[in-house]
Amino acid sequence: MFFSNSLENQLQRWNETIRNQPKNPNAYIRRGMINFQLAKIDESIQDFDMAEQLDARIKPYLWQRGLSYYYAERFAEGAEQFEIDLTVNAQDVEETVWRYLCIARSLGVEEARTSLLTVKNDPRRIMQRVYDLYAGNCTPDDVLIVGQSEGIKGNFYSHLYLGLYYEVENNVDLAQEYIVKAVDNYKIDDYMWYLAQVHKKLRGWI
């Protein structure tokens, strides 16, 4: 799963599925996810948009489009997508953190922090601690400590969200350090690992 040629193979399979089932919204979502993993951001948004056109009910579930909006620098649309997502997934820290990141990039960190939406019951300890960091209630070291206690996945998420945190704080050196470590040291078979890889690629952090 960690090699782009397998992503290219998956892309070809979804292209074929869509040729055979042009009205299948799930096929567009899956192809959009592959396009995103290949750093084809605009193409991924087009696929997610097509999925919504085919079935408007899926709009609150298109968290993947919110991530693509972030990397397309369409921050207002990203923040709106994550707000809508929270109406059906109110316990997910990642939705509100990505909304924070979108607002921070467009309106500034202070506005993002004051408008951070409350999420209380995410079952993942690392994400609870990430939320505390973004809310201004703990330190980066606190996030790393919880990450270390939760193995490779915890380490990955702590490094990813610290990198994103530092980027909107305009601390590019620390953002790069943490994102690159997330990608290189803590590979997991997870969409968010691919996101970190895309982030690294788009920023030119080889």
Alpha helices (runs of H) in 115-171, residue ranges in sequence order: 125-135, 140-149, 151-168
Cα separation, 179 vs 166, whole angstroms: 10
pLDDT in tens, the chain (206 residues): 455 569 999 999 999 999 999 999 999 999 999 999 999 999 999 999 999 999 999 999 999 999 999 999 999 999 999 999 999 998 899 999 999 999 999 999 999 999 999 998 899 999 999 999 999 999 999 999 999 999 999 999 999 999 999 999 999 999 999 999 999 999 999 999 999 999 999 999 97
The answer to whether the predicted template modeling score (pTM) of the entire model surpasses 0.85 is yes
Measured in residues, the chain has a length of 206
For the four alpha carbons of 137, 146, 99 and 120, in that order, the dihedral sign comes to negative
Number of H helices, E strands in the chain: 12, 0
Please name which of 77, 71, 27, 76 lies closest in space to residue 48, comparing C-alpha atoms: 27
Question: If we measure between CA atoms, which residue out of 190, 186, 194, 125 comes closest to residue 159?
Answer: 186
Residue that has been written with the tokens 């990505």 in this structure: 98
Closest CA to 155 of 135, 174, 131, 129: 129
Question: Cα separation of 190 and 206, whole Å?
Answer: 21
